[in-house]
Chain A
């Protein structure tokens, strides 16, 4: 079946470095993508989204890149801080549906 998955289950970076979290998806009909951050004991928190008519979108310290040709999505976090330590999920959906299809998540650990 179609699925969304993350390349790396864990990522450790030093404070101040840039982080890149990758995500592969397989549903060619997906046209909307979201990145979520989930801290321990909390629900997923919306970070940034991107629609399929774009290949890049920037937020505060975060950038999402979408490569539809290879069905790849990435989240870049600039100047990573200890507060960025969390599990990051990518999710995708088709415009016609309600369901968000989530990947398993990548755990980001920021070390001082």
Chain B
């Protein structure tokens, strides 16, 4: 599946660093999502953008800040993260309207030192 591309694939950062995760979709979709995947836990939805507007924010700490400049790109800006934020961050996209499957990228493996 190369329709959703995430960079970087791996990221190691200190708790005081600022970094950004990038996601790009080539599927012509108009909704994009950020998920967090931790060991032994179900995927957790973080943010949803539909038609470039944020429509869901699932009680995510403010140290995570999403940005959706257009329907093909999604960013997750990271600042002052905690060790428990270490996880796989997955981006997905889908068509808005009705029931449509979400298609995922391969994620960014984030490690907080």
Residue B84 lies at the interface, judged by CB distance under 8 Å to chain A: no
CA distance A95 to B33 in the complex (A): 17
Pairwise interchain contact A49-B50, C-beta atoms closer than 8 A: no
**A1 to B90 Cα, complex, angstroms:** 24
Q: Give the CA-CA distance A52 to B59 in the complex, in Å.
A: 29
Q: With A49-B101, A95-B99, A98-B48 in contact, is A43–B43 under 8 Å at CB?
A: no
Per the CB 8 Å criterion, the residue count for chain A at the interface is 25
Indicate with 1 or 0, residue by residue over B87-113, a CB within 8 angstroms of chain A CB atoms.
Answer: 000101000001101111111000000
Chain B residues with CB under 8 A of A100: 43, 45, 102
B residues contacting A by CB (< 8 A) are 1, 4, 6, 31, 33, 40-43, 45, 48, 50, 55-56, 58, 90, 92, 98-99, 101-107
B48 touches A43 (CB 8 A): no
Determine whether the beta carbon of B99 is less than 8 Å from that of A32.
yes
Assess the B101–A43 pair: CB atoms within 8 A: no
Cα distance A99–B4 in the bound complex, in angstroms? 18
Known: A43-B1, A100-B45, A104-B41. 18 other contacts (CB 8 A): A36-B104, A42-B1, A42-B107, A43-B6, A43-B104, A43-B105, A44-B90, A46-B101, A51-B99, A89-B43, A93-B99, A98-B31, A98-B33, A98-B48, A98-B50, A100-B43, A103-B42, A104-B40
Binding site for B on A (CB under 8 A): 4, 31-32, 34, 36, 41-46, 49, 51, 89, 91, 93, 95, 98-105
The contact of B104 among A45, A93, A95, by CB within 8 Å, is A45
- In the complex, how many angstroms separate the beta carbon of B54 from the nearest chain A beta carbon? 11
Shortest distance from the beta carbon of A38 to any chain B beta carbon, whole Å: 9
Residues of A within 8 A of B33 (CB): 98
